[in-house]
Chains A and B, each alone.
Chain A
Amino acid sequence: MSSRWLEPFKATNAKRIALYLEDRQSFLEALTAAWSLGKQVVLPGDVLPHTLDALAPHVDAYAGDFPNSLQPGSSTGAKLTYDSFDRELEGVVVFTSGSTGAPTLITKKLRQLFDEVVTLESTFGQDLGVDATHVSTVSHQHIYGLLFAVLWPYVSGRPLAARRLEYPEEIEQALRSGPSVLISSPAHLKRLPEGRRWSTQVQAVFSSGGPLSPDGAARAIEVLGHSPKEIFGSSETGGVAWREANDLPWLPMRGVNVRGARGEGEGAILEVESPHLAQPGFFRTADRVEIAPDNSFRLLGRADRIAKIEEKRVSLELIEKTCVESGLLKSARVVTLDGARVTLGLVGVPAKQLDRKELIDQLRAALEKAVERVAIPRKWRFVDQLPVDAQGKVTAPLLALLFEDETAKKPLRPEVEWLERTPTHASLSMTISPELKVLEGHFPDQPIVPGVAQLDWAISFGRDQFTMPRNLLKVEVLKFQKLMQPGHAVALTLDWNVEKTTLTFKFTPRSSEGTYSSGRVVFAA
């Protein structure tokens, strides 16, 4: 391949070039041009102000999608093949989140990268046609995308896609238009639209960045017709192990040795020996594992304060430090909260008198400069002091307790569909789910929605729609006529009388006659 980047790179004395480019072909041309000139390419994962500040001391020039940076020239030069470069050149530096909040720089010699790609080809290449385009939903600024979506096709001579694809509709289009391989991650696979098998020419699906849930694997099989091959690895180690079905243990990749070292907490700390590491010998990771006699292993979690949020490596310390340095909080601790989406919860001691919304807005603004958007906490708890255990320590389980009501709670209100919404009238439709908290404890054998809960729902949905005064004065003509039970399809009509500050409600069955309850709630004007 000739390169549009030989010209600008030859013209600069810079030895270490920061590169950030969305255009994947141009990115590859820039990499190979730099390597042919013996230069080093430094890859930041994002272009946030905090990252650029940290990057500055490590680079002499910027190329690509930075302001005022080097840009490609005209296409020049002979074909740059991967075996024409100096294998010992420290050709790539990957910038990633370290656990202390300062970015970690991981330097890769070209032989590490190319040898790993050769292993990928020998392990998985037989499933892929020579014309399969490497389509990816992951960024090539990180090691996984760099190896799988850029260097593997480059070395094997397969086509690479023009850029990263983010949305299901573009992914479908790309996989349909020709033979392809999908380089993806759990974030995208588990959110493929359900219910329809895509007609594609995809030959293999890879997932990495974090473990794929059983639901995510099932969705990928349903939509793509392939069980994703999961890769476990890290920026430091490259690929360590893989598996083809997500309830199986991880199998070390060819040439990789694993062993467990004793550490705090459950299981052992994973140590890895691999030809793709910079140094011979075992490298200690921050992953806790359980290793079987045949060297396959199961992952038990991380041993440091890095969280993976939708496969993005996030330093919890950086978030805490940023909040405290902003002057908004005296102290702050962040915990991960499980759910449909893993999110972060922040517990903070405010340093200023601000109302809750204002405080959250300002904290978010401060964090946006330091961490990617997915890493900004979604739940906030402000306290006078951080909770401590008997030893005076702030522990993650104690902090998680502050969010427990939120994460573990059963719904208090049913999910509803709003059929009509005006400033004085609303009608809603709902199905009484057996999950509802209010069904508990009334009659054990015959769960019902208690009358007081129906009254509460009427007021609470009323508040969602009408501007109602805070204080309730009295309830008039309250009638309960029929038992409301799990599985019932229920309609609710609400009318708000502005002059009389009165809310009239009526719960009725959607598909039969009668009334569950009705009444008028009068508010203090």
Chain B
Amino acid sequence: MQPLEQEIAQFIIDTLNLEDVKVADIDPGAPLFVKGLGLDSIDALELGVGLQKKYGIKLSSDATETRKHFASVQALAALVTNHRAGAST
């Protein structure tokens, strides 16, 4: 797992207060919702709030596009990386 992916996995565990889940248990490529971790739509809202708080990421109104970033730890890590690249230029 990449360092940023590990960080994102930890962010998910902390934000959602998940019991019985460790960073090492989360496959960065596996789906977070429904299958995989089995998160629900309320978790998606919580993660959206958390992303804004921790990384300053505001999701755009093109919902189908932005919510693709929630598919997996890898996708979220890519979102954070892109945001940082955009923010520094």
State the Cβ distance, A283 to closest chain B Cβ, in Å.
31
Neighbouring A residues of B18 by C-beta, 8 Å: 378
Neighbouring B residues of A421 by C-beta, 8 Å: 3, 6-7
Neighbouring B residues of A41 by C-beta, 8 Å: none
Q: Among the listed B6, B14, B61, which residue makes an inter-chain contact with A169, where contact means beta carbons less than 8 Å apart?
A: B61
State the Cβ distance, B74 to closest chain A Cβ, in Å.
16
- Identify which of residues 6-46 in chain B touch chain A, using a CB-to-CB cut-off of 8 Å: 6-7, 10, 14, 17-20, 22-23, 34, 38, 40-42, 44-46
A-B contacts, 26 listed (Cβ < 8 Å): A166-B45, A166-B63, A167-B44, A167-B66, A168-B59, A169-B59, A169-B61, A169-B62, A169-B66, A173-B61, A173-B63, A191-B42, A191-B45, A195-B52, A339-B17, A341-B46, A356-B20, A357-B20, A360-B20, A372-B40, A379-B19, A418-B3, A418-B7, A421-B3, A422-B3, A464-B22
Neighbouring A residues of B40 by C-beta, 8 Å: 372-374, 376
Chain B minimum-CB-distance residue to A418: B7
Q: In the complex, what distance in Å separates the CA atom of A465 from the CA atom of B5?
A: 12
The interface centre, meaning the residue of B10, B44, B45 with most chain A CB atoms within 10 A of its CB, is: B45
Neighbouring B residues of A86 by C-beta, 8 Å: none
Neighbouring A residues of B61 by C-beta, 8 Å: 169-170, 172-173
CB pair A193–B23 under 8 Å, yes or no, is: no
The 6 closest A-B pairs by CB, nearest first: A173-B61, A421-B3, A373-B40, A170-B63, A191-B45, A169-B59
Chief secondary structure at chain A's binding surface: mixed
Neighbouring A residues of B3 by C-beta, 8 Å: 418, 420-422
Interface presence of B68 (CB below 8 A)? no
State the Cβ distance, A521 to closest chain B Cβ, in Å.
20
Chain B minimum-CB-distance residue to A343: B17
Chain B minimum-CB-distance residue to A219: B49
Interface presence of B88 (CB below 8 A)? no
Interface presence of A380 (CB below 8 A)? yes
Interface presence of A317 (CB below 8 A)? no
Neighbouring A residues of B84 by C-beta, 8 Å: none
CB pair A193–B19 under 8 Å, yes or no, is: no
6 more CB-based (< 8 A) A-B contacts, given A380-B20, A418-B3: A191-B46, A191-B48, A341-B17, A372-B40, A373-B34, A376-B40
CB pair A464–B10 under 8 Å, yes or no, is: yes
CB pair B17–A191 under 8 Å, yes or no, is: no
CB pair A191–B6 under 8 Å, yes or no, is: no
Proximity bits, A356-375, B CB within 8 Å = 1, else 0: 11001000100010001110
Neighbouring A residues of B34 by C-beta, 8 Å: 373
Q: In the complex, what distance in Å separates the CA atom of A219 from the CA atom of B41?
A: 19
Interface range on chain A (Cβ under 8 Å from partner): 35 or more
Chain B minimum-CB-distance residue to A167: B63
CB pair A167–B48 under 8 Å, yes or no, is: yes
- Identify which of residues 277-323 in chain A touch chain B, using a CB-to-CB cut-off of 8 Å: 310
Interface presence of B60 (CB below 8 A)? yes
- Identify which of residues 454-497 in chain A touch chain B, using a CB-to-CB cut-off of 8 Å: 464-465
Q: In the complex, what distance in Å separates the CA atom of A356 from the CA atom of B41?
A: 26
Q: Among the listed A173, A187, A339, A360, which residue makes an inter-chain contact with B42, where contact means beta carbons less than 8 Å apart?
A: A187
Neighbouring B residues of A310 by C-beta, 8 Å: 42
Proximity bits, A384-412, B CB within 8 Å = 1, else 0: 00000000000000000000001000000
Q: In the complex, what distance in Å separates the CA atom of A483 from the CA atom of B14?
A: 28
Interface presence of B83 (CB below 8 A)? no
CB pair A465–B63 under 8 Å, yes or no, is: no
Chain B minimum-CB-distance residue to A168: B48
CB pair B45–A188 under 8 Å, yes or no, is: yes
The interface centre, meaning the residue of A188, A340, A464 with most chain B CB atoms within 10 A of its CB, is: A464
CB pair B63–A169 under 8 Å, yes or no, is: yes
Q: Among the listed B23, B45, B46, B48, which residue makes an inter-chain contact with A464, where contact means beta carbons less than 8 Å apart?
A: B23
Interface presence of A415 (CB below 8 A)? yes
Q: A167-B44, A167-B48, A341-B46 are contacts. A364–B38 as well, Cβ < 8 Å?
A: yes
Q: In the complex, what distance in Å separates the CA atom of A188 from the CA atom of B42?
A: 8
Neighbouring B residues of A380 by C-beta, 8 Å: 19-20
Neighbouring B residues of A415 by C-beta, 8 Å: 14
Q: A170-B63, A421-B3 are contacts. A374–B42 as well, Cβ < 8 Å?
A: yes
Q: In the complex, what distance in Å separates the CA atom of A158 from the CA atom of B49?
A: 32
State the Cβ distance, B50 to closest chain A Cβ, in Å.
10
Q: In the complex, what distance in Å separates the CA atom of A373 from the CA atom of B14?
A: 20
Q: In the complex, what distance in Å separates the CA atom of A378 from the CA atom of B43?
A: 12
Proximity bits, A65-82, B CB within 8 Å = 1, else 0: 000000000000000000
Proximity bits, B42-81, A CB within 8 Å = 1, else 0: 1011101100100000111111001100000000000000
Q: A374-B42, A380-B20 are contacts. A418–B48 as well, Cβ < 8 Å?
A: no
Q: Among the listed A193, A374, A464, which residue makes an inter-chain contact with B41, where contact means beta carbons less than 8 Å apart?
A: A374
Q: In the complex, what distance in Å separates the CA atom of A372 from the CA atom of B19?
A: 19
Neighbouring A residues of B46 by C-beta, 8 Å: 191, 341
